[in-house]
Amino acid sequence: MASRIQNIQLQALDEPIHAMRATRRAIKRPTAGWLKAVRQACGETVASIASKIGVSRQAYSRFEEREAKSTITLENLERAANALNCDLVYFLLPRTEIAENFAALAARNDPDVVNLQASEHSMQIEGQGVQDPVDAKNIGLAKQLYWLRQNLSLYELISVNAGKIKMAGSSDALFGLMQRLSLEAIVVTLCKIYEREQSKDLNSIDGVINALAESGYNDAQRKAAERFSARHGIPRTCDNPKDYLRDALTTFVSGKSDVFSSLRQFRSNYAVHSVHGFELEALPSFDEFEALYQFGYDFYFLISDTFLGVGPALMSLHVATGFNRLLKQIGIEHPAPGFSAKEP
């Protein structure tokens, strides 16, 4: 939390903030920059200002060009301002869509506050607290992502340590059953997370998007939505986040149509109805599972952090930690942590 000295500094910064905001709203930098605009308005030539500073005409012309492009140094900007008999004045302001003042900006960046928000959001995942409709659905999505992460870790750990488990003399049948159950849970949960909300009220990505407001978004939310989609190879400009995120979801799912077809087949023919002769090998790779999880988690993070400001929750790997302890207890001193570390 903020120290006494930090609180005094914040108070000093916040005292003139209303005047600074008023100045920011009232004044716009000339298109060609302040240096050129003031020089021309005062009837000064490039040569006369360059002479006062002690640089060549070409060098001073670069001052004006760089100011217009926002690449001039503060030192050179102040030198030119002095030559024009002007004072250089500048200040920093918190972006209103992020924080109303410096105290709020400091709180947003305070790790203690961030961790407290994450803990509160984690409590909501466990059924505590009341949320608005978007938050309630996002909490439902977070619960599914949490258990998906646990099952992915369990499935991966059993797979990469299968040889060591067998050498330790443990029951292949027991660990095989655990692997199959975690696999079924992974597939069913992924199908739920990406299911389209039609007549049903779902805690899916689509369900969260449908709960979002139709309008009233700020630039920070639009930019955050663009960064989210760009991370998943869907770069485009965002005007309305609700429509934008729905299009991003459609594009992402369409790009993985074969993957989702395999998941639905497995869910319908094996996990739900147990159709005779259905082959487990028809499933996507673990990397595909991870890609689907990551898109879902990044979406949840976006909504929690930028649209709701209430999280995100802490996604601890409780199952993986416990399973690693179990592996050590049956004689596997160094369990392989994942596919990337699988021993040949």
Does 55 map to a domain? yes
pLDDT, the chain, mean: 83
Show the domain range for 13: 4-83
1 pLDDT higher than 50: no
Please identify, among 37, 59, 83, the residue that sits at the C-terminal boundary of a domain: 83
Q: Is residue 196 located within the same domain as residue 332?
A: yes
How far apart (Å, rounded) are the C-alpha atoms in residues 81 and 34? Answer: 9
Has this prediction a pTM greater than 0.85? no
Please identify, among 83, 100, 127, the residue that sits at the C-terminal boundary of a domain: 83
204 pLDDT higher than 50: yes
Q: What is the mean pLDDT of residues 43-64?
A: 93
- Please give the pLDDT value at position 135: 83
pLDDT digits (tens, 9 = 90+) for 294-344: 999 999 999 988 898 776 776 667 788 888 888 888 888 888 877 765 443
- Please give the pLDDT value at position 256: 93
Q: Is residue 169 located within the same domain as residue 48?
A: no
- DSSP-assigned letters across all residues of 98-131: T-SSHHHHHHHH-HHHHHHHHHHHHHHHTT-S--
How far apart (Å, rounded) are the C-alpha atoms in residues 174 and 171? Answer: 5
* pLDDT interval class at 125 (50, 70, 90): low
Q: Which two tokens stand for residue 96?
A: 């209103």
Of the candidates 303, 200, 293, the one whose C-alpha atom is nearest the C-alpha of residue 245 is 303
Domain count for the chain: 2
The amino acid at 204: S
167 pLDDT higher than 90: no
Highest mean pLDDT among 68-82, 109-123, 263-277: 68-82
Please identify, among 83, 108, 140, the residue that sits at the C-terminal boundary of a domain: 83
Contact residues for 305 (Cβ-Cβ < 8 A; gap 6+): 224, 311, 312
Q: Which two tokens stand for residue 192?
A: 């739920």
Q: Which two tokens stand for residue 146?
A: 């949490």
Q: Report the percentage of the chain scoring pLDDT > 70.
A: 82
